Each structure stands twice: as structure tokens, then as C-alpha cells.
Amino acid sequence: MSNAPQDKAALRRRMLARRDLVSLALREHHALQQRDYALDGLHFKGVVAGYRPIRREADPTPLLQVLADRGLTLALPCMEESRTLRFRVWHPGDPLRENRLGIEEPLMTAPEIMPDMFLLPLVAFDEEGRRLGYGGGDYDRLLADKAYERARRIGYAYEFQKADRLPSEPHDATLDYVVTEARLYRFLD
């Protein structure tokens, strides 16, 4: 019998405690480094879904600003009552509202859209491209949808969030890339 759920919970607590120690100044510095690695190593096209960082998550805002300046269409997730993620068009500077979880999201008047690429927050990742999230399974359910099987999955993390091997379960989504302040990881064949 696998202990994956218990192992994940313990690792999640350790990684979140470590991430909570990242200063805001260091997070801003890392965000600029991550932007540069992402722009140097990835080809962005179509609709790019980002996220608004919470709890000292790696911040994709500088990258999203450059992509918007280049004319790409951006989206942010919106959480429905059923905990289903939907994506709505967003441009830097657009008004946002706080959802019931305290996460900023576009107004419900923003058009819904299907992303071609996802920038994904995470708690940890490993050498195989496995992603450990907060435990709610919101992104795992989304990425299991056949409509998104061709979408690129780009984790956004700090280098210290890399684990040798994450415990995994069949429903866990994997990543195509992870961008940290130190490098770009590729997991595609």
C-alpha cells in the first residue's frame, strides 16, 4: 500500500515552510531571473494562462508583462463554486476581484478563453516533471481534461522546490518545463 498521500502532505508542509521564508525582495529578484530564463528558452504562442501569486509563490508577473507587451493574449484562472477552474482574458492593469480563497482573479465580465500554455504555481517538482500542488487537485483535474492535452505545462518555482523524486498517484499531472531563478528544466522527449 502506497503512502503517497501522507508523504505528499509531509513534503508539502516542509516546502511551504521553506517558501514562507523567501523575502519579498528576493522574490522580486528571482521573478526577473525567471522571466529571463523563460524568454530565452521557451517559445510563447497562443493564449498563455498565468496566475496571481499567493503565499510567496514564484511570481510570473514580470514575464506576463513582457508577453502582454509582445501582443500575446493572457488569461488568469477563476474558481467556480464547484472548484472547477475556468480561464478569463486578462491584461496587466485590468481590475481583479478576490475570490473566496483570497486569490485575485479577473472579473466575471472578462471573456472566457481556453489557454494553449499554462504557467503553473507549485509547491515542489522533481526530475521527472512531477508537480506537487496544494492538495486540492484543481490543476490536476483541469490538465486531465482532453481539451488541454496539447497545452504546454510550465511550472514556475524556486530552485529549492526541486525534490529528487516526488510521491505520485495516477491522477497527478506532469509538467513539460519548470522555470526557476537558476535555470529552465525540460521534461519533454
Q: Which domains does the chain have, with CATH numbers?
A: 4-186 (3.40.50.10420)
For the sheet with 124-126, list strands across it.
131-132, 124-126, 162-163
pLDDT of residue 7: 83
pLDDT at residue 186 tops 50? yes
E strands, 80-127, in order: 85-89, 96-98, 104-106, 117-121, 124-126
pTM of the predicted structure, to 2 decimals: 0.90
pLDDT at residue 25 tops 80? yes
**Mean pLDDT taken over the chain:** 91
Amino acid at 152: R
C-alpha cell belonging to residue 181: 531563478
pLDDT of residue 189: 64
Kind and range of the H or E element at 144?
helix 138-144
Residue 149 pLDDT class (50, 70, 90 cuts) = confident
pLDDT greater at residue 169 or residue 91: 91
Mean pLDDT of 118-131: 94
Pairwise CA distance, residues 64 & 95, whole Å: 16
pLDDT of residue 3: 64
Helix (H, G, I), strand (E, B) or coil at 179: strand
| Percent of the chain predicted with pLDDT > 90 | 69
pLDDT greater at residue 170 or residue 150: 150
